[in-house]
Every structure is written in structure tokens, then in C-alpha cells.
Amino acid sequence: MSDTATLKPDDRYQQLLARLGSRSFIEGLILPALGILVFLLAWQFSANRIETSLGKFPGPTQVWEQIENLGAEHKRERAKEAAFYQRQEERNARKLARDPDAVIKIRNYTGKPTFFDQIITSLLTVAAGFFIANLIAIPLGIVCGLSAATYKAMNPIIQVFKPVSPLAWLPLVTMVVSATYTAEDPVFDKAFLNSAITVALCCLWPTLINTTVGVTGIDRDLVNVSRVMALSPMVHVRKIVIPAAIPMIFTGLRLSLATGWMVLIAAEMLAQNPGLGKFVWDEFQNGSSNSLGRIMVAVIAIGLIGFMLDKLMLTLQKRVSWDKSAVLR
Amino acid sequence: MGIKYLDITGVGIEFDTNGSKFRALQNVNLRMKKGEFVSLIGHSGCGKSTVLNIVAGLHRATEGGVVLEGKEVTEPGPDRAVVFQNHSLMPWLSVYENVELAVNQVFRKTKSRAERREWIEHNLQLVNMDHALDKLPGEISGGMKQRVGIARCLAMQPKVLLMDEPFGALDALTRAQLQDSLMEIQAELGNTVIMITHDVDEAVLLSDRIVMMTNGPAASIGEILDVNLARPRDRLDLAENPEFVHLRQQVLEFLYAKHSQPAKAAQETPQPERESAAVVEALSAEEDSGAKTGGPDSEAA
């Protein structure tokens, strides 16, 4: 590695060739690329044969067009927004120039959110739901792991609520939020809260269960060391329980985030939270010849973002984990 | 204190295993002086570790009790630090932090931050581990880990240091090095130590007294052997010392001739028999030896 710099250009070329021909290169790049290519071909081939009431099922080329369309729409919308604010500023400036005491109004731009705005909304919503869930699940999991009695008491509740679909929760959440969240000037949109709480209710369980298992599985000897040192419960949890359970907690967190992201799309469709779920729903209702292509873009975006969220958690886990040699995947 | 520093009186324990009661220990009596080094030796599953855990407070005796400096033992505490067989360091804390955890717990109120730092480094120096303060346990060898485990216990300044087969998991050379280190430290600090061991040589080399336990169930102390070899002891000189050889012989005699573990007993005891091969080998070697040992042969099966 270190002697690459001292090599002659010819040698480096040879080395490059050797790398290209090496097994790891083929397995790391060529094979996945080949898989994607085959998938795209099969997609294009079969898409052409599916006729729907909204035209042919979109193939990769149509979807690519829609990606470009959505990008262009986003740019147009941003330009309109900038123009709106500029006009407003100029108008206010003129007003103030004429009469320094004039009451000026600053209005927010109310144009329709673009695809990219909707992605941001979805990410914020899932982050909020995930955060609420973990705020409850991790401490509760630690308590369940430490106390067998608490676990036995909690277990039936966990088992019953774990398999409940988000769609069953949503009407209840909506009604409760409507009844209890009645601030004059709400910080959060109700649809946002409904979606976030529904997400939280669904991604509570993997973290809770995995944290419990992680805490229960702490090495007996380490617990005995802690008892011999007479560590206080707080120090015991901070210095021994949490570090020991971190790998399992993160397994739970990753499962939770994946569940949460999946649940979110459904919740947004029904709660009309202006995120990716609403985008899909609106396009479906819209029913133009482009709709299916646009929904397909959303499908791919949802997949890619889900993948990136998991990678993010993995990176975070590698950062936090004390065992740097552990193989994480 | 003198004669009655640590007093184990009439200790017995019964475990509840799936509804049936299993009596592991019966009528264990032992008195220790301050600064004394006592080894517990016996076959696997004879309850040595249970005795140690009762002194540590990790187990509660069914009858009898342990009194340390006039105070009954009811719960675990840093005045009875335990060195566990597999080092039991927190793998997420560095060598320094592992000792720090114990030191902060014991000396939080009595020592300043700087004093604690010095104390941690001093204890790691005692076990020759001051060169690896920032290493994680995963980055050092098994022997080094056990050194840190010992430093962690020494740093708590325990009234009794309890060691549960501290060198059992180490190779012979590393074990010898650690035994020498332990002897040096004990000579310097005068700790009171109870050590569990399987190793006859180790017991004779390190101890002032060797407590030999009968086989379970309902195990008890069979014989106690005084080791009056002059200190400091040197393993090379001792190897041919007739007294050492005789003491060693007596322990082997107890273990393999008087209380050799019969096959049926092995079936009854739930614990796995790790050294059954060694027992068989030693049995054939020691069968003919007729040397009788002194001392009370109580509750011999």
C-alpha cells in the first residue's frame, strides 16, 4: 500500500489491471451491476406488456423521465418561491420608504410542496416517531431486562400489541390527537403528529424486545463484579448494563427504524401528512398518464431512503460500539 | 483481631434445583488470621467456589455465617474483592478505566481526583501493567487481563482478597509468572487471601495453609495442612526441597487416595467433571503411596 507512490507509472498501471481482474473487484462491483442490469431489462420487457387504465405500466425509461420532471418541478417551484419573497420584500421596502410607520405584512409562501419537500417531511416525521418510540422503549427495555418481575408483567402487553398494524392504530390516534391537542397556535401539524405517533406505536416493539434480551444476557461475572464493587443502580446501568447491551439495542433500533419507515408511508396516506405517502396517494387519485411513473419514482425513493437509513444506523452503531472487531452487517 | 480476623462458622448451603433440594455444603468452619494466605483445594463440584461466594456475599448461607472483623457478611462489598477466573474486565473500558471504576466507587469521598489517578497507576504498576493503561481488554493477552483483574481488586484495598481459580485459564508459563507476582505483592502488602485452586503445586507454593475439601454433595473441610516453608519462596529451590515434596505428596494423597472422586459420585453431582482424565492418571500414580497425613479427617466419606 504505502509503496504505491514509489512505483513507476507502468507498475501502477499493471497494479490497476491486477486489481480490475481480481476476485474482489468482480464480486464487489461487476456482479451487483449485472444484477441491476438484468432487473432493468426484465422490468422494461414486462412493463411494455402491462396495459392499465392509465396507460402502459412505466418502464425504467418512463420512470427516468419522471425523475427529471420532478426535479424540474422542484426547481420551478423554488424559483417561484424566491420570486414571491422578493416581490414581498420590495413591496414592503416601498411601503416603508413612503411611510416609516407603516404596518408591513410578511406572508409565507403557500405553493404546493414538491416531491423533495415531501421527502423531507417524511424524514422528519419518521425521525419524530422513532425518537418518541426509543424514549420509551430503551428505558423500559432496560427495566424489563433487569427485573424479571417487570418483564413477566409486561410480556403479555408486548406480545399482544406487537403484531398490530399501524392502520388499526391510526383512527384511534387521530381521534385522541384531535381531542387533546388543541393549542391556539400549534407548533406541529395534526397530520404530522398522527403519523409520528402511529410510527412510534409500531417501532416501539423491536427496540423494547431487543433491549430486554440484551440486558438479560449480560455476562453473570460482570454483574457479580458490579455487585462486589457495590455500584449504585445508576452507575451499574450506565457503566455496565448499557455498554453490554449496546449491540442488541442497536439491532432493535435498526429493526425499529426499518419498521417505522415502512409504516410511515401507510400512515401518511391515511393521515394526509404531506410526505411521500401523500404523494403516492395524490398521484393515484390524480390518475394522469404520468401518475404511475411518478409513483414508481416514489417507490424507488422510499427503497433508497430506507436503505440509507439502515446504513446510517450501522455507521452509528460502529461508532458507538466498543467492540471494533465485531462484524456488523 | 489476631486470631479472629475472618471467621467462617458452621456454614452450610442448600440449593433449590427444580423443586428438589441439593445440599452443597455442610458445616464448614474456618478461622483466618490477618495477612494469612489460604488455599481451598478439592475436586470439581465440591463447593469450593460456593464457599468463596458465601464469603464474598454473592451467596447467602442456609445456616451458619461469616464474620469479618466483627461484622457479619450479608451482602457483597468492596472489602471482599473477588478475582474471577476469567478476568471479568469490562471489555468496553480501557485497562485504566476498569481499575478507575472500582477506585471511584471506593475512594470517591476520601481521595482527591489526583490522588485517585496516582492510586490507579500505582496499583497497575504493582502488577506490571502500567505500560498498557489505554489498551482495551481485547487488545491484551489473557495473563495481562488477569493482572489487571488483580490490580482492580488490590485497588479496592479489600480486607480479604478472594481469588476464584485466578490462574486456571492461563498457560503454565504465564501462570508461573503471575504466581511469582502475586507472592511479591502479598509480601509487600500483607493481604489476607483466600484462593481456590486445582493446582497442587500452586497451593503449596503460595499458601500458609491449604484447606482440602471433601467431595460433594454436602461437602465440607476434610483436612487443613499448614505450610511452614520460609518466605520468600522460590519455585526452583522448592522443587527439590524435601518439605515441599512432602507437603505436595500429602495434598495429592488427600485428593486422589482418600477422596478420589468415584464414578458414581460423578454421576450424582450435576457439575461437569473437567479433570476426570487427570484424576484417573493421578489415581494410578498415587494408589501405592502409603504416606499418611496428619490432621483431623472429619466427615470423610
Is the distance from CB of B80 to CB of B55 less than 8 angstroms? yes
Return the pLDDT at A324.
67
A53 belongs to a structural domain: no
pLDDT at B266 over 50: no
Percent residues over pLDDT 70 in chain B? 85
The beta-carbon neighbor of B76 closest among A230, A235, A322 is A230
Is the backbone of residue A12 left (phi > 0), alpha (psi -120 to 50) or beta? alpha
Whether residue A242 is found in the same domain as residue A99: no
In this complex, do B84 and A224 lie within 8 Å of one another by their Cβ atoms?
A: yes
Question: Residue B182 gets which letter from DSSP?
Answer: H
Question: Residue B209 gets which letter from DSSP?
Answer: E
In this complex, do B58 and A221 lie within 8 Å of one another by their Cβ atoms?
A: no
Return the pLDDT at A91.
87
Q: Which residues contact A138 (CB under 8 A, 6 or more apart)?
A: A207, A211, A249
User: Across residues B51-69, what is the average pLDDT?
Assistant: 92
Query: What is the number of domains present in chain A?
Result: 2
Q: Which residues of A touch B75 (CB under 8 A)?
A: 230
The beta-carbon neighbor of A243 closest among B77, B82, B92 is B92
A27 belongs to a structural domain: no
d(CA A108, CA A88): 10
Return the pLDDT at B3.
56
pLDDT at B288 over 50: no
Q: Which of A82, A112, A142 marks a domain boundary?
A: A112
Question: Residue B193 gets which letter from DSSP?
Answer: E
Q: What is the largest CA-CA distance in chain A?
A: 80
User: Across residues B222-228, what is the average pLDDT?
Assistant: 90
Bridge partners, residue B212, by sequence: B41, B223
Average pLDDT, chain B: 83
User: Across residues B93-101, what is the average pLDDT?
Assistant: 94
A236 belongs to a structural domain: yes
- Going by pLDDT thresholds of 50, 70 and 90, the confidence category of residue B1 is very low
Return the pLDDT at A8.
66
Return the pLDDT at B301.
34
Q: Which of A171, A170, A194 is nearest to A181 (CA)?
A: A194
In this complex, do A228 and B58 lie within 8 Å of one another by their Cβ atoms?
A: yes
In this complex, do B102 and A222 lie within 8 Å of one another by their Cβ atoms?
A: no
pLDDT at B20 over 70: yes
Distance from CA of A244 to the nearest CA of B (A): 8
Q: Which of A54, A83, A112 marks a domain boundary?
A: A112
Q: Which of B270, B267, B266, B225 is nearest to B248 (CA)?
A: B225
Return the pLDDT at B280.
41
Q: Which of A251, A254, A247 is nearest to A323 (CA)?
A: A247
Intervals of chain A under pLDDT 70: 1-9, 19-23, 324-329
Give φ, ψ of A168 to 5 degrees.
-75, -35
Hunting for cell 415502512 — which residue is that? Answer: A262
d(CA A54, CA A290): 8
Taking the CA atoms of residue B168, residue B173, residue B175 and residue B178 in that order, the dihedral angle to the nearest 10 degrees is -160
Q: Dihedral sign, CA of B95, B100, B106, B112? A: positive
Question: Residue B103 gets which letter from DSSP?
Answer: H
Whether residue A74 is found in the same domain as residue A189: no
The domain spans of chain B are: 1-73+202-301
* Cell reading at B198: 486445582
Q: Which residues contact B298 (CB under 8 A, 6 or more apart)?
A: B220, B221, B222
Among B50, B82, B96, most A C-beta atoms within 10 A, so best to mutate, is: B82
Whether residue A312 is found in the same domain as residue A296: yes
Distance from CA of A229 to the nearest CA of B (A): 5
Whether residue A234 is found in the same domain as residue A155: yes
Return the pLDDT at A187.
78
d(CA A248, CA A242): 10
Report the CATH fold assignment for B1-73+202-301: Rossmann fold (3.40.50)
A172 belongs to a structural domain: yes
Whether residue A120 is found in the same domain as residue A144: yes
Whether residue A232 is found in the same domain as residue A294: yes
* Residues in chain A whose Cβ is within 8 Å of chain B: 219, 221-222, 224-225, 227-231, 235, 239-240, 243-244, 246, 322-323, 325
Distance from CA of B78 to the nearest CA of A (A): 5
Q: Which residues of B touch A221 (CB under 8 A)?
A: 84, 86, 88
Q: Which of A54, A81, A112 marks a domain boundary?
A: A112
Bridge partners, residue B66, by sequence: B8
d(CA B46, CA B52): 12
- Per the model's pLDDT, the better-predicted residue between A17 and B293 turns out to be A17
Return the pLDDT at B297.
40
CA-based nearest residue in chain B for residue A227: B76
Whether residue A300 is found in the same domain as residue A203: yes
Count of residues making up chain A: 329
* Residues in chain B whose Cβ is within 8 Å of chain A: 56-58, 75-78, 80-82, 84, 86, 88, 90-93, 101-102, 105-106, 136, 138, 156
Return the pLDDT at B271.
45
A28 belongs to a structural domain: no
d(CA A246, CA A76): 46
Q: What is the pTM of this model?
A: 0.78
Whether residue A226 is found in the same domain as residue A157: yes
Among A225, A239, A319, A323, most B C-beta atoms within 10 A, so best to mutate, is: A225
Q: How many Å from the N-terminal Cα to the C-terminal Cα in chain B? A: 35
A7 belongs to a structural domain: no
Whether residue A228 is found in the same domain as residue A201: yes
Return the pLDDT at B118.
94
User: Across residues B265-281, what is the average pLDDT?
Assistant: 43
Q: Which of A238, A239, A261 is nearest to A139 (CA)?
A: A238
Give the up-direction half-sphere exposure of residue B162: CA atoms within 13 A in the CB hemisphere: 25
pLDDT at B293 over 80: no
CA-based nearest residue in chain A for residue B55: A228
Whether residue A145 is found in the same domain as residue A131: yes
Q: Which domain holds residue A80?
A: 63-112
- Going by pLDDT thresholds of 50, 70 and 90, the confidence category of residue B287 is very low
A2 belongs to a structural domain: no
Q: What is the three-class DSSP state of B272?
A: coil
- Going by pLDDT thresholds of 50, 70 and 90, the confidence category of residue B277 is very low
In this complex, do B105 and A231 lie within 8 Å of one another by their Cβ atoms?
A: yes
Is the distance from CB of A195 to CB of A268 less than 8 angstroms? yes
* Cell reading at A75: 426547481
Whether residue A182 is found in the same domain as residue A82: no
In this complex, do A221 and B81 lie within 8 Å of one another by their Cβ atoms?
A: no
Whether residue A141 is found in the same domain as residue A88: no
A325 belongs to a structural domain: no
